[in-house]
Structure formats: C-alpha cells, structure tokens
A and B are shown apart, each in its own frame.
Chain A
C-alpha cells in the first residue's frame, strides 16, 4: 500500500496527465461529472455521486462509427476510426460504477466483440475510490458490492490527510510505477479502520435490507404479469432521465447524418423508456408506458441476470432514485415486487 498527501494530489494529476488522458470528477456549473482534467479544474473526489456515470469514458453518448461516400449509384464505406486510442486513466470511480463496467463489458465484449467499445476500454486504467460516507439512496450492498474496497486496476481511499493507493493488477502496477516518485509506502491500518467504520454506516442505511431473492429466471413470467406494474409506472413521463444517468443502461441507436463530405453513421444513447424505441413501420411491441417501464426494470433485475450468470444489471448507485422527476425508481419496484428482508 502507498499513500500521498491530499495537498499533493494536483501534482499526481499532472503526472498522470503527462502520459495519458485523465478523466476525473470535476465541478462545473455546480454539477460534478467525470471530465478531462486540466490545470485549474476543480476536482471533487469527495462528491459521492457524479450526476452522470463515468460510462461515457468508453461508451460515449454519441460516437461516429463510419462514413459513407456516395456518388451516382456507387457507395464507399470509409473507416474513420483512428488506429490507436490514447491511454486514459479514469480516476475516482466508486464501487458501484466499477461494477457497472463489468455489466457493460459483458454486453459489448461478448462475441461478436464491439471493437469501438473495446479499443477505448483497453486503453483505460481504472483508479477506483472507496466510499466512506454512503448516503440514504445508496444500495450497492444489496447487489453484493463492497463500497469500502472497490474493484478496479488501482483502489484508493481518502482518509485524514492522505489518499491511500493499492494496485490490484499489472495495469495498476504499471501506473503505480510511473508515479513512484510521488507515492510513499505505508501500512494498511488507516484504510482498515476506515473500512470498518464505513461498514457500520452501511448496516444502518435505509435500503440495506432490500430483498432480491424473488428476481430470478424462474419467476420471469410471474413478475412480468404482476398487475402492480400498472400502479408502479402510472406517473412515469417517459423522459428517459433514469436511463441516461444510469451506469449500466446500454441501449443505443444507430443513425445517419448527412454532411457536405458524405454521410456519417453514428451511434448514440437511446432509452427503452421512449415510445418510439420499438416502433416499426407496421406496429410497436410496447405501446404503453407501463410496458416500457416494466422493460427497464425486468431487464435489470431478471432478463440480464438470466443471460449473465445471475449478475444484476443494477449496481444500486441510486442515481435514478435521485433524478426521476416523478420520484419513481428501481427501489420501489424491488420493494413492491420483491419485498424486504425482515
């Protein structure tokens, strides 16, 4: 284990930014989000939850995929991807968001591999940050996530005057080596003390007792046909905010954009909450907001786990709990359909 004084963190960021890009929570216009670091930017590692998740580090909100050149009857496909992706460090990722990377990996890296995602993902070193002050809307522990020791290539802890640093694998060690002159060796006592303190807080969180045991493949049709979806979804506006802030939502659209020098085909985030998501020329398989609302949560709690060895596609970050203008969220769904442990 290593440590660095909080007051020296700026030097650490500068050192990282010398050889790679640095993506870190930055405060701008009173909102903290992951953004590219630069001298003078206000880093806010203490912020528990960035408004948007860091998934745009390798799954950007919009991404150009290719270009078509057309002339008369002929069409040419132009590959506009650049050969090598610049290495990037994503710094300060919380346990829930790190887990969400695995959820996305299983989709995009499954055969056939999505090489747009893969090239970015491979270029990224994840430096995670343990949570010491989880709040009421957090429920990552319901999904078996330990916020006091997040996964990632490097794990860090903020405690007292220091940031503590531990490399978890080769990628993490390589980064540690580069920063060796700024890091000092230390013991694990401070980190262990913080971890047990945080664990006490976690036990007292209001959502700690969510019961997920009913959300399994064998109950798929029973949950799908539950009449309570109607009341659960009644107030939903279909605004899609919950899907855009969610670290695991992965649905995208593919569209063409005409420019003066050809047609750009790009992809962009989409939302299963939108009424035209499944619209076809001759019909729509989900015509009501209830169906769309049900799709989002059934996918996270039942369909995705059924396809991925039981891994849920919700990491309990609580963003949709905080952001829904109608106060709807996955917690209400879990409580209503699943119940709580006594």
Chain B
C-alpha cells in the first residue's frame, strides 16, 4: 500500500521545557530515536493526539539539528491543552513537513537579515535564525527584535542570551510591553521599538507575530523605506489536511498549507483580504 500524506507516523516526546506560563517546547523523535523527517526553515508539521485531533505547528528547531525536532507550543485549544498536560515518553502522531519554507538559500544568502517577532511568533523564526547561524558565513549582519508581554513571556530566553547575543555580527533587541521589576531592557511595543532602533531599509526582513503587530511593524518598515518584496511573514489559518485538498485554508487562489505559510508582503497584497 502506498504511503498516504494523511497517514501520520509515531513520534515520541523526549523532552518538555516550560518556557512561559502558557508556552512549552516539546522535543520529538521517531520511534527509532531519529528525527521524524527532514524539513526546511519555516515549514510546519501536523501533530495529533489520537481521540482529540490534529493541529498544525511550525517546526521550531532548525533543519541543521540532526537529532530531533522541537515545537514551541502555546496552550490555546483542545489539542494544545492535551499536549501541555503530557509527560516525557508520551507518544503522539506526526506528519509533514508541510508548506513553503523561507527562501534561506535562494533569497536570504549574502543579505543582511532583520528578524522581528512578537510572542509565540518567535517559534517559526527560531528555525530560520538558527539555520542562518549554522551557516553564518553565508549571511550578512543579523538583527533580531523580539517582544513579549512581560519578561516572563519571552520564549527560551536562555538560548537568546547565551547564544544569539554572543553570535558574531549579530544584534539582539528585546522589549516588553509594560515596565517590570528586574527588567532593564526596553519597554514598549515592537513596532515603535523597530523604528527607534533605526534599522537599515536595505535589509531583508522577516516578521512573525500577532496580526496587529505585523500590521503596524510593516507600516513602520515601509515608512523607513523597506520594499514589500523583501519583507516576509507567515500566515496562520485553520488547517486539516495540510496538502491543499480539504479546502480549509484557502485564501484567494492560494492554500496556506501548500503555498504558504511563508509569504512575501507583495504576494499578500495580491490576495483578497481574508486571513
């Protein structure tokens, strides 16, 4: 019998890290102890809990991680609630990879890169940031702007502090929405902070986060002189099949599961406003 894209394989949760009050990062391998499948930065996987259902998540780990996959998941619905209650050793079902990746080889190579994330939006960006770090010599300057509600909502702050901040030719800017004891960094929303930092409009930018953040950050970038054709983001819509058949994630003549989740801002302009 042929393999069918809708039939998952078994994944084993080998590690669970509590990042914030509502975000946990799950490490997943196949039953053979190896990575369930190969992927590219920005691609997604369908995780399922038998009896509860399936949901699509962006793969947080970089493809350069040869041992396992990681998913940073925010608790916000049936499947994620159950995932959050799981323990190490639990098996789940997993299928993928799905969707179009960030053009790390085709478009990003040799460019200065600006990554802007809000909240759980860091999850898809972590994959591409760590990919670019792995092949550091192939890319120009890296600027990372990451914001969250509070300092306790910054996901995997250890990696940011211990690795990203020490990376060559890399600047990391963190911000939180409201002042908080023990926080000496910037306070304020991401869009305003990006303008303050004064980023260079010749950079290639990648935005991920809540829709309002994306909207205002994009506005700010355009005012600074960025071109839409060099600004990327990811869309998130309800998905069921992941392979462009169930009709669920249709926007205009695109399926987010197949033609996305990565889109360039000028491509989004062509789509009807329904995402």
Contacts and interface: CB of A to CB of B under 8 A. Distances in A.
B225 to A, nearest CB: 26
Interface of B: 1-10, 50-54, 76-78, 80, 87, 89-93, 236-238, 240-241, 243-248, 250-253, 270, 272-275
Interface string A260-290: 0011010100101000011111100110000
B250 A295 contact: yes
Contacts of A81: 1
A214 to B, nearest CB: 16
A303 interface: yes
B1 A65 contact: no
Contacts of B274: 224, 285-286, 291, 295
A172 to B, nearest CB: 26
Scoring A65, A277, A280 by chain B CB atoms within 10 A of each residue's CB, the highest score goes to A280
Contact of B244 (A65, A110, A256, A277): A110
Nearest to A256: B51
A209 interface: no
A252 B247 contact: yes
B92 A278 contact: no
Interface of A: 65-66, 68, 70, 73-77, 79, 81, 83, 107-108, 110, 112-116, 217, 220-221, 224-225, 250-256, 258, 262-263, 265, 267, 270, 272, 277-282, 285-286, 291, 295, 298-299, 302-303, 306-307
Contacts of B253: 217, 220, 302-303, 306-307
Given A221-B272, A224-B272, A278-B237, A77 B245 contact: no
Nearest to A220: B252
B30 to A, nearest CB: 12
A70 B51 contact: yes
Counting from the closest, the 7 A-B pairs by CB-CB distance are: A281-B77, A251-B247, A68-B50, A306-B253, A112-B5, A224-B272, A75-B91
Contacts of A76: 10
A70 to B, nearest CB: 6
A74 B3 CA distance: 22
Judged by DSSP, the binding face of B is loop
B2 A281 contact: no
17 contacts: A66-B7, A70-B51, A73-B89, A77-B7, A81-B1, A221-B270, A251-B246, A252-B247, A255-B53, A272-B250, A277-B248, A279-B238, A280-B238, A298-B252, A302-B253, A303-B250, A307-B253
Nearest to A110: B244
Contacts of A73: 87, 89-91
B245 A263 contact: no
Contacts of B1: 79, 81, 83, 115
Contact of A272 (B52, B78, B243, B247): B247
A252 B9 contact: no
Nearest to B211: A283
A112 B241 CA distance: 11
Contacts of B237: 278, 280, 285
